[in-house]
Chains A and B, each alone.
Chain A
């Protein structure tokens, strides 16, 4: 269980995390999505006590992370796979942490096997590792203490498609056994397939969060027409809210049949009419996070800003 309440952090006079509140339940995988610099890493660092929040609270397994007597045995962390001593051998890097958290040394070998680092790789110095190998070592490290909670920052970075599938299986299995997983990514595709819940962060604020289904319900209808000016005009006349999507498309906040009727009445030829679900999360992710660098007053996070006066 991970819980934050109104977590806020300022760095260099800039608010990088603002009023972030969420909850990750046991048995679930939560995807933490946002572009680079959105505040994901800072939030995760506050979760594990490496960074002090300026406001709000973060608790893991019912209390502040720092109060856990032997945190490595309950919370597995992968904040940066490159944060390993380049002159240390892969096996030794795990063995040091195993000794620190009081885990038997043979577990190091079990985990090396689990993440697919063979004997040759285990004997190599971490400085010679590829990004994918470091990521695997990082997974092994996070799982070393047999934790109940996993906190992973951009874990799919550098993994090949096979590794990505492997990671999803691993996280799914971990959650199905009652574990709590929080993983961040700047790529929707990495998270979409495995996450039960998703949070989208932009400019330090949570822009939307919920289950996949919840995030998709308000999607509306995607419409394309050759005569966009006429389309916008009839939609406006009918009182339907439309947003510009991908330049020449419109996302209309209405059911497809309502949009079809308006277009027919207005004599506008549609060349595409579809429920927006297919565009789904990707559009939502893009719209919620694009241009969210600066903090602006938050409206309803699920509903995108209305389109500008159409041209």
Chain B
């Protein structure tokens, strides 16, 4: 740390000085930011570890005839379904709570690009965790199953639904993070609000609309049974309310408002 070292400037090659960072690079950076903090790293470790434990328990405790992909999937997806949204929330809220937004939004002044990169990165992580979960679940079933007939029935649609279940849950997390921009309230609302909402719309008065707006009910089925077309439609409307709406509000706020970091 002597002044003599300062006489020699550290030059960097000029390439890229006038080139806008590509979306691929921004997505890679956001992926990195999800796992390179203490909290982010342990969240991912916990997701894998708890999935393994859950699958082992499901395989050991359950009745032999229940040891199908369908039943183990319903249990084995839940760790990722809970912890992925937390990762997604922190990916957005940490820019405010940790104030790194001062750096991020100064390096990439187009905030919509940052949000887009966060969304894509969260989808990539969700797919990675889907692959992990399904692999652990399949391994568990393979090892523990006595080989009942329906063990692998409906594998393709169930795994497809698992993909929708995990990715949409992740995006809901990102959306809640974008709207609230503080970690604790965002995490609590992400999990408590749908439950409270379920309670409200389960009142007889809402009997007709409840299936269409109750996200807990509409999405909870995703990991357990093959959805009918009408159930898909209900999942779609519930997601429009719980995922799309907060996402649009969050994007609108962050891109239009001051970054009060």
A48 CB, nearest partner CB in chain B, Å: 5
* A104 close to chain B: CB less than 8 A: yes
Contact B103 A99 (CB under 8 A): no
Nearest CB of chain A from residue B260's CB, rounded to whole Å: 9
Q: Residue A29 at the B interface, CB < 8 A?
A: no
B21 & A70 in contact (Cβ 8 Å cutoff): yes
Q: Which residue of A lies closest to B32 (CB)?
A: A96
Chain B: residues with Cβ within 8 Å of the partner, total of: 45
| A272 proximal to B (CB < 8 A) | no
CB nearest neighbor in B for A64: B109
- CA–CA, A52 to B5, complex, Å? 38
Given A74-B17, A88-B36, A146-B11: A169 and B106 interface contact (C-beta under 8 Å):
no
Report yes or no: B10 in contact with A114, Cβ–Cβ below 8 A: yes
Q: Contact string, A86-105, partner B, CB cutoff 8 A, digits 1/0?
A: 11110010001101111110
Q: What B residues does A165 contact at CB under 8 A? A: 3
Q: A173 — which chain B residues lie within 8 A by C-beta?
A: 3, 6-7, 9
The segment out of A75-83, A189-197, A290-298, A300-308 that lies at the interface is A75-83
Tell me if A77 and B9 are in contact (CB < 8 A). no
Q: How far is the CB of B28 from chain A (nearest CB, A)?
A: 7
Q: Which applies to chain B's interface (DSSP): helix, strand, loop or mixed?
A: loop
Q: Quick check: A110 and B10 within 8 Å, CB to CB?
A: yes
A114 touches B5 (CB 8 A): yes
**Inter-subunit contact A50/B32 (CB<8 Å):** no
B37 lies within 8 A of A115 (CB): no
Cα separation A143 to B5 with both chains bound (whole Å): 14
Given A49-B106, A66-B110, A84-B100: A96 and B33 interface contact (C-beta under 8 Å): yes
Residue from the list A50, A70, A102 in contact with B102, Cβ < 8 A: A50
A50 in contact with B33 given A102-B19, A169-B3 (CB within 8 Å): no
Specify which of A71, A85, A141 is in contact with B98 (CB 8 Å cutoff). Answer: A85
B100 touching A85 by the CB < 8 A rule?
yes
- Complex contact A125–B17 (CB within 8 A): no
Which residues of chain A from 136 to 155 have any CB-CB distance to chain B below 8 Å in the complex?
A: 141, 143, 145-146
Least CB distance, B106 to chain A, in whole angstroms: 5
B49 at the interface (CB under 8 A from A): no
Contacts of B17 in A (CB 8 A): 70, 73-74
Please give, as numbers and ranges, the residues of chain B lying within 8 Å of A170 by CB-CB distance: 3, 6
Q: Does B192 contact A (CB under 8 A)?
A: no
A87 touching B37 by the CB < 8 A rule?
yes
Residue in A closest to B98 when the chains form the complex, CB atoms: A85
Does A31 reach chain B (CB closer than 8 Å)? Answer: no
Residue pair B98, A107 in contact (C-beta under 8 Å): no
CA distance A65 to B110 in the complex (A): 11
B74-125 CB contacts (< 8 Å) to partner A: 94, 98-110
A116, B1: Cβ atoms closer than 8 Å: yes
In the bound complex, do residue B100 and residue A101 qualify as a contact, i.e. CB atoms below 8 Å apart? no
Instruction: Please give, as numbers and ranges, the residues of chain A lying within 8 Å of B103 by CB-CB distance.
Output: 77, 83-84, 97, 141
In the complex, B208 has a CB within 8 A of chain A: no
Give Cα distance in the complex from A192 to B21, angstroms: 38
Residues of A near B131 (CB, < 8 A) are none
B204 within 8 A of A: no
Is A72's CB under 8 angstroms from B107's CB?
yes
- One digit per residue, 1 when the CB lies within 8 angstroms of any chain A CB and 0 when it does not, for chain B 23-58 equals 001101100110011111000000000000000000
Task: Report whether A48 and B106 are in contact in the complex, using a CB–CB cutoff of 8 Å.
Answer: yes
Q: Is the CB of B10 within 8 A of A146?
A: yes
23 contacts between A and B (CB under 8 A): A49-B105, A70-B19, A73-B16, A73-B17, A77-B103, A83-B101, A83-B103, A86-B98, A88-B36, A96-B32, A96-B33, A97-B103, A99-B28, A99-B29, A99-B32, A100-B108, A104-B12, A114-B5, A114-B6, A115-B1, A146-B11, A166-B1, A173-B3
> 5 nearest interchain CB pairs?
A116-B1, A87-B38, A169-B3, A83-B99, A87-B37
